[in-house]
Amino acid sequence: MGISALQSLELIERLHAYDSVPPPALAAPRASWVGTSLGVAGVPLLIGEGELEEIIETPALTTIPGTKAWVLGVAAFKGGLLPIFSGDVLFRKRPFIGRARDYCMVIRRPGLYFGLTLSHIQRDLRFPIEDRLVDHPVDTDFAGYTLGGFMYKGEFLAVLDIEKLVADEELSNASAGRVSSNKGKGNE
Amino acid sequence: MKMDVPNLWVIGIGLGILAGVVGVAYALFMTELAAGTLMALFGAPAVLVVALLAYRGQRRRVEYTEQGVAEINSSLVKIAEGDLTVRVPEENTVTRDIAREINASTQRQRELIRNIKTPFKVSNEGITKIGAIAEGQVEKGRELTRSVVESTTAATEMVRTSEEIKKSTAEAARTSERNRQRVAQGYELTKDMSKASADVRESVQETSKSAKRQGELIQSVTAAAEYIQALNTKISVVAINTRIEAEKAGEHGRPFMGIAEAIGDLMREAEEEGRKIISQVRMLQNLSADNLASMENTVGTVVTILEYIDRLDSSLEEINAGSSAITKIITSVDDAAGQSATTARHMNSSMDAIRERNLDISEYSESTQVGVSSLKTSMRDVAESLSQFKIEEISEVERTLAAIEELKKIQVARKVYREDEMKALEQTKVSRASV
């Protein structure tokens, strides 16, 4: 006469108890860092979750005289005006010669609402929080605006700190002052 | 005049007789004697004296005659020994005529011998010259024989060399013919290579056209891939914005959050594949460009090969012409070698004839030399015989000088050949060679 399934299960439980095999422990939920992988002026960066308003295609621009070189112009966007800044000129201090930047990220902060051109866009990424590297060397032009980063497929992705960026005095004043320059605006 | 002892006796006897006659005459004057006694006393001694005187005279005449005969005999003995310089004294009246005749005879003999000696000396000198000339002829003949032998050897060597030249030219002609055939084969090969290169060029050009078409297709695929990549980017943007909006929506946006994350996951895979496609398409494009460049290089190389083939063809034609010229030269050299061999054979035959004639001349010269030697021996014997006739008085100094002159006439032998050498020279056969 054979044993039933319940009897077999009980037998297995007894055998495990006899062998003192501990039950598999459940892994503790790990804290993750979520952000969007994109690039500014060719430098791969991460923007943290909630830092971005949205990503849009670079709209048609109207140049604004008397502004700094990184101010490409102002575009009509969702019933309002959206200033578009050049990420290349803002960080590299020189215009990008090549294919036009097709996308820009929209950042909204109290008192600041602008779009910054992007060199490329990847996707949203999720990293374990403990994998964050804070002492990895970063491109010198971005070193003042980053806050560590993560390694992804052998490449270091620095986390762009929007708060540091918007706190920069250079960004807070778009006026060119006495010396007006249109340098770089024609290429964007 | 010197008197000998018998004459003194005769004088003494005469003086005694004269003293007796004087004594008898004195005694007669002093004494008277009969006439008969006186006659006897005086007549007998007178007769005796006369008889003595007659005997003495006869005796003296005989001695005188014997003296002349002795002188003649002495002279005849010397003449018989060959001394014709002897002169028989002619003071003896008895033998004066005989002495004169003998002297005249010796005088005539001297003149005769002198007359013989002078032409004999000239003949001897002439024979000596003939002997020297004959000896020189023999020597010249031997030298000529040696020269002929050397010339014959040289001619034989020339014939052998000509034969070797002919062999070499025959081998060279065969080699040249082989070269010509190989050049002809090379000529055909260049034609085949030219045709094959032209085919390769046409094929490569066709392939190049296909490669260009392939490049265009790859370009369109690349454009499509880039378009897909751009769509992926747009979808990524949509997914990012969806997630942002879902976050803004709070609890109500959670489904959209899941959708955005699902789209993001799909986009990750699509983006990776798209990136691979673009990378591979770009690699394909690069490979196509490389292939196109390689084919263009191949076409250029084929064109260069065709140029080389043209040059090779020209070179082969020149080599062919050169081979024909070399063949003609070899033929002319072969003919010249044949003519040279024929000439050498003729020369060899002529040398043989010269050698035989020279041997005959040498034999004649040797016979002449032998005859001259024999004649010289005979002349020497005759000279010795004639020299036994002393016809002139010569001093010792002249005799010595004459001996020295005779010694000077002795010639030094030029070269003395041994018997085996002479036989080797005479028996040297000219080796003949045939072509």
Task: Please give the pLDDT value at position B93.
Answer: 84
Contact B239 A121 (CB under 8 A): no
Is the Cβ of A103 closer than 8 Å to some Cβ of chain B?
yes
Which residues are CB-contacts of B162 (< 8 A; sequence separation ≥ 6)?
B337, B338, B340, B341, B344, B435
According to DSSP, the β-strands at A146-152 and A112-118 are: unpaired
Q: Which of A38, A54, A119, A123 best tests the B interface by mutation, with the highest count of B CBs <10 A?
A: A123
Residue bearing tokens 């920069």: A168
According to DSSP, the β-strands at A155-160 and A43-48 are: parallel
- Strand ranges of the sheet holding A54-57, from the earlier edge strand across to the other edge: A54-57, A103-109, A112-118, A80-85, A71-77
B120: its two tokens:
């004999």
Contact B244 A54 (CB under 8 A): yes
Please state the ipTM of this predicted complex: 0.77
A157 pLDDT tier (thresholds 50, 70, 90): very high
Answer for the pair A120, B271: CB distance below 8 angstroms, yes or no. Answer: no
User: Can you list the positions of beta strands (E) in A71-185?
Assistant: 71-77, 80-85, 103-109, 112-118, 120-128, 146-152, 155-160
**What percent of chain A clears pLDDT 70, i.e. is strictly above it?**
91
Task: Please give the pLDDT value at position B382.
Answer: 81
Task: Please give the pLDDT value at position A127.
Answer: 92
Task: Name residues 61-90 of chain A within 8 A of B (Cβ).
Answer: none
B350 burial type by CB count under 10 A (0-12 exposed, 13-18 middle, 19+ buried): middle
CA distance A115 to chain B (A): 14
Task: Count other Cβ atoms within 10 Å, centred on residue B390.
Answer: 17
Task: Please give the pLDDT value at position A180.
Answer: 47
Contact A124 B240 (CB under 8 A): yes
Contact B241 A121 (CB under 8 A): no
C-alpha pair distances (Å), A126 with each of A34, A151, B261, B262, B417:
4, 11, 10, 13, 130
Is the Cβ of A121 closer than 8 Å to some Cβ of chain B?
yes
Task: Please write down the HEC assignment for all residues of chain B.
Answer: CCCCHHHHHHHHHHHHHHHHHHHHHHHHHHCCCCHHHHHHHHHHHHHHHHHHHHHHHHHHHHHHHHHHHHHHHHHHHHHHCCECCCCCCCCCCCCHHHHHHHHHHHHHHHHHHHHHHHHHHHHHHHHHHHHHHHHHHHHHHHHHHHHHHHHHHHHHHHHHHHHHHHHHHHHHHHHHHHHHHHHHHHHHHHHHHHHHHHHHHHHHHHHHHHHHHHHHHHHHHHHHHHHHHHHHHHHHHHHHHHHHHHHHHHHHHHHHHHHHHHHHHHHHHHHHHHHHHHHHHHHHHHHHHHHHHHHHHHHHHHHHHHHHHHHHHHHHHHHHHHHHHHHHHHHHHHHHHHHHHHHHHHHHHHHHHHHHHHHHHHHHHHHHHHHHHHHHHHHHHHHHHHHCCECCCCCHHHHHHHHHHHHHCCCCCCCCCCHHHHHHHHCCCCCCCCC
A44 pLDDT tier (thresholds 50, 70, 90): very high
CA distance B304 to chain A (A): 42
CA closest to A104 among chain B residues: B237
CA closest to B257 among chain A residues: A124
Q: What are the chain A neighbours of B261 within 8 Å (beta carbons)?
A: 124
Which residues are CB-contacts of B233 (< 8 A; sequence separation ≥ 6)?
A102, A103, A120, A121
According to DSSP, the β-strands at A103-109 and A54-57 are: antiparallel
Q: Which of A39-43, A49-53, B298-302 has the lowest mean pLDDT?
A: B298-302
Task: Please give the pLDDT value at position B415.
Answer: 58
Contact A121 B268 (CB under 8 A): no
Residue-level pLDDT, tens digit, chain B, 435 residues: 444 555 677 777 778 778 877 777 777 667 655 666 766 766 777 777 788 888 888 888 888 888 888 888 888 888 888 888 888 888 888 888 888 888 888 888 888 888 887 887 888 888 888 888 878 887 888 888 888 888 888 888 888 888 888 888 888 888 888 888 888 888 888 888 888 888 887 888 788 788 888 888 888 888 888 888 888 888 889 888 988 888 888 888 888 888 888 888 888 788 778 878 888 888 888 888 888 788 888 878 888 888 888 888 888 888 888 888 888 888 888 888 888 888 888 888 888 888 888 888 878 888 887 888 888 888 878 878 877 777 776 667 766 777 777 676 665 555 556 677 767 766 665 444 443
Task: Count other Cβ atoms within 10 Å, centred on residue A184.
Answer: 21
Task: Please give the pLDDT value at position A188.
Answer: 44
Task: Please give the pLDDT value at position B35.
Answer: 65
Contact B236 A53 (CB under 8 A): no
Q: Which phi and psi angles does B292 have, rounded to 5°?
A: -60, -45
CA closest to B239 among chain A residues: A123
Q: Does residue A49 have a pLDDT over 80?
A: yes
Is the Cβ of A153 closer than 8 Å to some Cβ of chain B?
no
Q: What is the pLDDT of residues B152-172, one digit of tens each?
A: 888 888 888 888 888 888 888
Contact B240 A55 (CB under 8 A): yes
Rounded average pLDDT over A128-152 = 91
Contact B268 A52 (CB under 8 A): no
Contact A36 B260 (CB under 8 A): no
B93: its two tokens:
């009246």
Rounded average pLDDT over A58-83 = 92
Rounded average pLDDT over A166-177 = 80
- Strand ranges of the sheet holding A120-128, from the earlier edge strand across to the other edge: A120-128, A32-40, A43-48, A155-160, A146-152
Task: Please give the pLDDT value at position A23.
Answer: 66
Q: Which of B227, B232, B236, B266 best tests the A interface by mutation, with the highest count of A CBs <10 A?
A: B236
The pTM (predicted TM-score) of the whole model is: 0.47
CA closest to A56 among chain B residues: B237
Closest CB to B268 among A52, A103, A123:
A123
A76 pLDDT tier (thresholds 50, 70, 90): very high
Residue bearing tokens 């980053």: A146
Contact B237 A52 (CB under 8 A): no
Contact A49 B239 (CB under 8 A): no
**Angstrom distance (rounded) from CA B362 to CA B136:** 10
**Angstrom distance (rounded) from CA B258 to CA B243:** 8
Residue bearing tokens 């021996």: B377
Contact A123 B243 (CB under 8 A): no
CA distance A105 to chain B (A): 10
Q: What are the chain B neighbours of A56 within 8 Å (beta carbons)?
A: 237
Task: Please give the pLDDT value at position A114.
Answer: 92
Rounded average pLDDT over A72-89 = 92
Contact B264 A36 (CB under 8 A): no
Rounded average pLDDT over A31-44 = 92
Longest dimension (CA), chain B: 259
Measured in whole angstroms, the distance separating CA B222 from the mean position of its chain's CA atoms is 96
Contact A121 B237 (CB under 8 A): yes
Closest CB to B267 among A49, A120, A123:
A123
Measured in whole angstroms, the distance separating CA A35 from the mean position of its chain's CA atoms is 6
